[in-house]
Structure 1
Amino acid sequence: MRQVAFITGASRGIGRETAIAFARAGFDIAISARTLEEGEVYEHAIRQADGTPLAGSLAATAEAARAFGGEVLSLRMDLLDSASVRQAGRQVVDHFGRLDVLINNAIYQGSDLNLPFMELTADTLERVAQGYLLAPFVLTREVMPTMLEQGGGTVINITSGAGESDPPVPAGKGGWGYAYGAGKAAVSRLSGILTKELGEQGIRAFTLNPGVVTTETLKATIGEAGVIALRNGSAPPELPAAVMLWLATAPGAADYQCRTLHAQPFAKEQGIASALSVEQSMSS
């Protein structure tokens, strides 16, 4: 029986590459995002400097993933709507009858996310609480009975250094704001709780910090000049995708629970970066 992975926020960036990596490895996959088709426009979304939506869609991700022969289930899911999140989780387990890997990658990315403290409003924090605290909880809680019934499963939660440390400079001058930091801090606490409470029932849970990743969102946020400036300290989205596949499949991965893993140094430590480079050169 083929294993099943559910990756949220899979219309572009890390989520897209993670979906493709799991499909390549022989998984059937479920993918979710708000954007089913290219060019759809939503409130509270990052856009290009000219106001156009970022490139990427679930349809494009699904097409790329299906090239590896597995089944792909695409679901529209809105993090800011708990009913939508709950329904997506239910659809995945109803469709496949199992779920082996859940990757909570999707985040709220409104333009207000990193406002300075004195410009921040309660409305933004309510959206952050919904997107970063409630949505991962609701989705994980919805699929967990299925994981427990089948004897185990893996949950990977994507965090950020913003959730674990203070910004080097103020928000508005290159640092992150309270809303984003608070949201990611909530994400960082989920995996350890799952491990301690459900580990003896076969649940493995990991917290992964991808570091600076050259995604469409990063380019839209800091521009091409900023991306070039960060080149030596950044990684392509394929790298955290490869790390997540390793965490979900490697026999020794369980040893790396109850800590935050930093994708780039971890990939070097485990030889994942070298394997990825070989794989990319063979496919080019």
Structure 2
Amino acid sequence: MTQVAFITGASRGIGRETALAFARAGFDVAISARTLDEGDSHAHSLRNADGSALPGSLNATAGEIRALGRKALVVPMDLLDSASVHAASAAVFAEFGRVDVLVNNAIYQGSDLNLPFLELQPETLERVFQGYVLTPFLLTRAVVAGMLEQGGGVVINVTSGAGESDPPVAAGKGGWGYAYGAGKAAVSRLSGVLATELGESGIRAYTINPGVVTTEALKATIGDKGVIALRAGSAPPEVPAAVMLWLATAEQAVDYQRRTIAAQPFALEHGIVPDWRHT
């Protein structure tokens, strides 16, 4: 039976590369995001400095998956709309009948996400709660229910150093703000709960921190002021994508639950991306 991976936030960046990695490994892939076609505009969209939309779309990713000989299901989903989350999970099970791997990668990325504390407004935190706490809960609960019926599955939650530690410099000077840090801290707690409560029922769950990844969103988010973050090194999105595929498929991966996996050193330590070296 062909395995199925469901990747959120797959219109570009880490999500796109993860979807392609699973397709190359023989998975059929369901992909979700808001951007169906190149140039689509949405409320709270992250934009380039000149105001243009970031490159990438679900339909473009789906085309690449199909070119690899795998099935691709495009599922529009808005993290800030609970109804779209329920509809997305239902659509994936209706099409494939199962989900073997869920990757919670999509995040709310509004321009207000990293405002300094005294400029932060309650409305931003409400969106962060919806996008980083409620939506992953709703989607994961729906998918895991199906996984339990089929005998098991894997959940991978993509966090950030912002959810694990304090910013190196202030927000506005290249560091992250409270809203983003609080959101990712919530993401960092999900996998351990799943592994502890449902591990004996066949659910494996992982938390991965991609590190600084050279995506379209990185420059739009932190711009030139974020250069300080690059001192810790950076990687192309193929690196965390390869680590997530390894976690989902390698027998020894079961030992790496209940911790946050730093994707870049982990990839080097385990030889997961043999032709890549940390920059």
Calculate the TM-score normalised by the size of structure 2: 0.96
The aligned runs of 1:254-273 (5 Å cut-off) are 254-273=254-273
- Verify the 8 A CA contact 2:29 2:71 in the aligned structure 1: yes
Secondary structure of 2:251's aligned partner: coil
- Identify the residue that residue 205 of structure 1 maps to in structure 2: 205
- Identify the residue that residue 190 of structure 2 maps to in structure 1: 190
Structure 1 gap segments, 5+ residues each? 279-284
- Verify the 8 A CA contact 2:174 2:225 in the aligned structure 1: no
**Is 1:148 matched up with 2:148?**
yes
The aligned runs of 1:96-245 (5 Å cut-off) are 96-223=96-223, 230=230, 233-245=233-245
- Verify the 8 A CA contact 1:211 1:263 in the aligned structure 2: yes
Q: CA–CA distance in 2 between the matches of 1:268 and 1:131? A: 31
Cα distance, 1:227 vs structure 2 = 6.4
Secondary structure of 1:206's aligned partner: strand
Cα distance, 1:93 vs structure 2 = 1.1
Cα distance, 1:232 vs structure 2 = 7.0
Supply the AA of the counterpart residue of 2:38.
E
What do you get for the CA RMSD once the two structures are aligned? Answer: 1.6
Cα distance, 1:224 vs structure 2 = 6.6
CA offset digits 1:56-88 (Å, max 9, x no partner)? 000110111111111100011000011111110
Q: CA–CA distance in 2 between the matches of 1:227 and 1:119? A: 23
Structure 2 gap segments, 5+ residues each? none
- Identify the residue that residue 59 of structure 2 maps to in structure 1: 59
Cα distance, 1:228 vs structure 2 = 11
Q: CA–CA distance in 2 between the matches of 1:167 and 1:69? A: 43
Q: CA–CA distance in 1 between the matches of 2:231 and 2:16? A: 21
- Verify the 8 A CA contact 1:158 1:208 in the aligned structure 2: yes
Cα distance, 1:225 vs structure 2 = 8.6
Calculate the TM-score normalised by the size of structure 1: 0.94
- Identify the residue that residue 281 of structure 1 maps to in structure 2: none
Aligned length: 277
Cα distance, 1:7 vs structure 2 = 0.1
Q: CA–CA distance in 2 between the matches of 1:177 and 1:73? A: 35
Shift in CA distance, 127/63, structure 1 to aligned 2, threshold 3 Å? same
Q: CA–CA distance in 2 between the matches of 1:100 and 1:80? A: 25
Identity of aligned residues (%): 73
